Structure 1
Amino acid sequence: MTKTSRARYTLEFKQEAVRLVEGGQTIAGAARTLGIVEQTLFNWVKAHRQGKLKGVDSKPVSAEQMEISRLRAELARVKMERDILGKATAYFARGSI
């Protein structure tokens, strides 16, 4: 029997994930986009609202890591927008036939 290890996330990654939810994306959608479990993201949002969101490590985060985190969040937002536009296009295309 093998013991599975838990994924560990930086505080910046958690904050970016929470920003997606607070920006209007659903927890399910944001979690799917980021590749994390919905319950995990729900817990982060709850902890953030209580002022208790913490990262896994106390190491300083490099500028590159912060940029990667920001870009991942932006990519998730852009993918969501693309999906919405694709669905809208399909909807309106059906009506014009």
Structure 2
Amino acid sequence: MKKVRKNYSLEFKIQAVSLSEQRGNVSSVAEELGICKESLVNWRKLYNEGKLSKEKQISSNPIREELLRLRKGTRRSKA
């Protein structure tokens, strides 16, 4: 059976990181939000490295954008 991977928005990730930093307890925040503790730890690491930001989400490469669009279409047609 295929495992479904959850996708969270950038805004959700940033808010979760912010909340965990305010409270100082990753486990309780992850449980409260219904996410995996390891995901939140990874998001915090990415955020602190500057890799979890809106600038990273905006692609300036039109070829990459087209490739991503085509891959999504392929996945949908296979499902």
Tell me whether the two structures share a fold, i.e. TM-score over 0.5. Answer: yes
1:28 corresponds to which residue?
27
1:50 corresponds to which residue?
49
| Aligned equivalents of 2:52, 2:10: Cα separation in 1 | 8
Q: Could you list the structure 1 runs, at least 4 aligned residues long, displaced by more than 2 angstroms after superposition.
A: none
Q: Which residue type is aligned with residue 12 of structure 2? A: F
Give CA-to-partner distance per residue, 1:41-61, whole Å, 9 cap, x none: 000000000011158x76xxx
Q: 1:22: Cα distance to partner?
A: 1.3
1:40 corresponds to which residue?
39
Between the two proteins, what is the percent identity of the paired residues? Answer: 39
SS for the counterpart of 1:46 is helix
Tell me how large the CA RMSD over aligned residues is: 1.8
| Aligned equivalents of 1:54, 1:4: Cα separation in 2 | 27
| Aligned equivalents of 1:26, 1:39: Cα separation in 2 | 13
Q: 1:25: Cα distance to partner?
A: 3.7
Q: Which residue type is aligned with residue 29 of structure 2? A: A
Moved more, 31-40 or 19-28: 19-28
Q: Pairwise mapping of residues 17-96 of structure 1 onto structure 2 (< 5 A)?
A: 17-53=16-52
Segments of structure 1 that go 5 or more residues without pairing to the other structure are 59-97
Larger Rg: 1
| Aligned equivalents of 2:33, 2:3: Cα separation in 1 | 20
Give the TM-score normalised by structure 2: 0.64
